Structure 1
Amino acid sequence: MTVPIAIIGAGIAGLSAAQALQTAGRTVHLFDKGRGSGGRMASKASEAGSLDLGAQYFTARDRRFAEQVRHWVAAGWAAEWQPQLYNARDGQLTPSPDEQTRWVGVPRMSAITRGLLEDMTVSFACRITEVFRGVEYWHLQDAEGVTHGPYERVVIAVPAPQATPLLAAAPKLAAIAAGVQMEPTWAVAVGFVEPLATPMQGCFVQDNPLDWLARNPSKPGRDAQPDTWVLHASAQWSKQHIDLTKDQAIEQLCGAFAELVGCVVPVPNFSLAHRWLYARPAGNHEWGALGDPDQGLYACGDWCLSGRVEGAWLSGQEAARRLLEHLD
């Protein structure tokens, strides 16, 4: 009997690890508490079409990740986004000189993780609450009390605060994860019947409740959408307003957007909000991934590296590499 490897989390880190392990001939079983893949690269269906409320784009600086992105583009899952970018500071809007190449999933960010899921075994809407070791193999228990297993190894690919209790069998790893600070982000999407009279398609914002805003239809593959905008609050503002209702977050962030955008902003005909409790790590780390090879327990995610999509993918690759190195 082939004993599979369990991976908790079907975001980009978990799927990266799964892809590397399957390529090496290993059987994997993914679990995710959500109803679909992607984690913070997920897209939310709405009456205004699919919206990227989490990761807005990604960059590729590492040659290994750049090669992976080329495969995604060739598969039709990703394309380059060339927005008209601005900077906003002290009430002034100026065109951004930034020439960084940016990529997005097509026709939505979640297209990439959905593509990676092909030919993989995955259990959605299954929140794993405990990872424990039997005589020889690992077992997982979910929130419904159901036990899954046996598994030869376990990879935990969720944000550090969620990984900490799952790493209880490896106290040193659990302590490292517990020390990682993750910052929240309030995300709001608003839509308008008529396009706003601004050339802006993306904006980096300083000294404001907002940190970032993007015109969703400017991204490749989203042309038929109405004029929808995604607004991200700053980590500082999100922390200070973490307990707002969604309606309050929409009202306050829409007000900040209307003041900043430099044109008349009518009442939106559509709005929604999402609170990311663990949007990004507060700082960068150099771990790559965490692992206890003697026990066969590993952890990965953007919090092990840079906080970027690229960091999540590289962390998943590193977790798989370390795991394979110690398999019989």
Structure 2
Amino acid sequence: MSTPIAIIGTGMAGLSAGQALVEAGLEVRFFEKSRGSGGRMASKRSDVGSLDLGAQYFTARDRRFADAVQQWRDRGWVAPWKPSLYQWSAGGLSPSADEQVRWVGTPRMSAVSRALLGALPVEFSCRITEVFRGDQYWHLQDAEGRSHGPFSHVIIATPAPQAANLLAAAPKLASVAAGVTMEPTWSVALGFEQPLDTPLEGCFVQDSPLDWIARTGSKPGRESRPDSWVLHASNDWTRHNLDLPKEQVIEALHGTFAELIGCVVPSPSFALAHRWLYARPGGPHQWGALADGDRGLYACGDWCSSGRVEGAWLSGQEAARRLVSYLQ
């Protein structure tokens, strides 16, 4: 029996790498600090149905990713989302003409990660704090002091600041990851008993505490009642209000939403807030993935590429390709 490969993180990058390695005939084992897979593509169950609090949709520009997305569509994991799209700038709303195809998981964003993970071995609620090498193999230590291993290789598929800490055994890679800036985002969900009187289903927002607005019920497979909305604060507003209590975040962003939506907005019957400390990289990079083949240590994530869902998937594929190539 072969020694498995450890993959830390079950977001899109980690799952992409794992899928590619399994297709190459290798054994993998996942570790995830959260209770479910998906990372920023995770969905949250709530009193108003499932909510996509992180990634709202994704696009497919690279041919390889477009082919993968088409396979996901054929399997019923994703569907195109064609919202009534607007933009808000200079104090006013206007339609946003856009031919771009936007994809969402069905019936929730996390459907993609759950399908990709399938029956592969994973330990949820297991936060890895250290990656260390013995005489021959890699071992992991979690926050509870437990040791996991042995592993022939390790792929770290976490946000850059977390990856930098776990890459201590490869200082050059750790230095690269430590130099990546990740932007935070406050996400707020609001539910209303009566549908808001607006045709708007998605909106890009400029020069405002908000950055994005989406009507959950407009996405394929979602429940339409009650009328639920997801608001993303801008990175700049989030940085300045990073430690604001959730109740105050909800109040501030609800107020901004009410001012720009163009219709009467009552008090919500449901509200929650979630803070993404590492929502997106501060800028694109061209590494694809980080690799130390001699040590058997790799890192991948959207921060190694374009910063999008597509970038995360491509980065995972690249990490797997480099690992497999080193073995050949």
Instruction: Establish whether TM, by shorter chain, passes 0.5.
Output: yes
| Change over 3 Å in CA distance of 1:45–1:315 after alignment to 2 | same
Equivalence map 1:268-279=2 (5 Å):
268-279=268-279
Equivalence map 1:227-238=2 (5 Å):
227-238=227-238
Indicate whether 1:56 and 2:56 are aligned: yes
Deviation at 1:97, TM superposition (A): 1.0
Q: Could you report, residue by residue, the CA deviation over 1:206-263 in whole angstroms, capped at 9, with x for unpaired residues?
A: 0000000000000000144421000000000000000101101000000000001000
Structure 2 residue runs of 5 or longer lacking an equivalent are: none
Give the aligned partner of residue 302 of structure 1: 302
Separation (CA, whole Å) in 1 of partners of 2:305 and 2:178: 15
Separation (CA, whole Å) in 2 of partners of 1:324 and 1:134: 22
| SS of alignment partner, residue 326 of structure 1 | helix
Amino acid at match of 2:135: V
Structure 1 stretches of at least 4 aligned residues deviating more than 6 Å after TM superposition? none
Indicate whether 1:167 and 2:167 are aligned: yes
Give the aligned partner of residue 7 of structure 2: 7
Give the aligned partner of residue 254 of structure 2: 254
Give the aligned partner of residue 216 of structure 2: 216
Separation (CA, whole Å) in 2 of partners of 1:45 and 1:273: 13
Separation (CA, whole Å) in 2 of partners of 1:210 and 1:183: 15
Give the aligned partner of residue 82 of structure 2: 82
Separation (CA, whole Å) in 2 of partners of 1:107 and 1:91: 34
| Contact 2:216–2:224 (CA under 8 A) maintained in structure 1 | no
Deviation at 1:119, TM superposition (A): 2.5
Equivalence map 1:129-208=2 (5 Å):
129-208=129-208
Separation (CA, whole Å) in 2 of partners of 1:223 and 1:64: 32
Separation (CA, whole Å) in 2 of partners of 1:68 and 1:298: 23
| Contact 2:49–2:223 (CA under 8 A) maintained in structure 1 | no
Deviation at 1:327, TM superposition (A): 1.4
Amino acid at match of 1:217: G
Separation (CA, whole Å) in 2 of partners of 1:118 and 1:161: 28
Normalising by structure 1, we get a TM-score of 0.99
Q: Between Structure 1 and Structure 2, how many residues are aligned?
A: 328
Query: CA-atom RMSD, angstroms?
Result: 0.6
Separation (CA, whole Å) in 1 of partners of 2:167 and 2:311: 21
Separation (CA, whole Å) in 2 of partners of 1:245 and 1:74: 43
Structure 1 residue runs of 5 or longer lacking an equivalent are: none
Give the aligned partner of residue 264 of structure 1: 264
| SS of alignment partner, residue 116 of structure 1 | helix
Q: Could you report, residue by residue, the CA deviation over 1:165-220 in whole angstroms, capped at 9, with x for unpaired residues?
A: 10000000000000000000000000100000000000000000000000000000
Q: Could you report, residue by residue, the CA deviation over 1:85-104 in whole angstroms, capped at 9, with x for unpaired residues?
A: 00101221000011110000
**Percent identity, aligned pairs only?**
69
Give the aligned partner of residue 46 of structure 1: 46
Normalising by structure 2, we get a TM-score of 0.99
Give the aligned partner of residue 288 of structure 2: 288
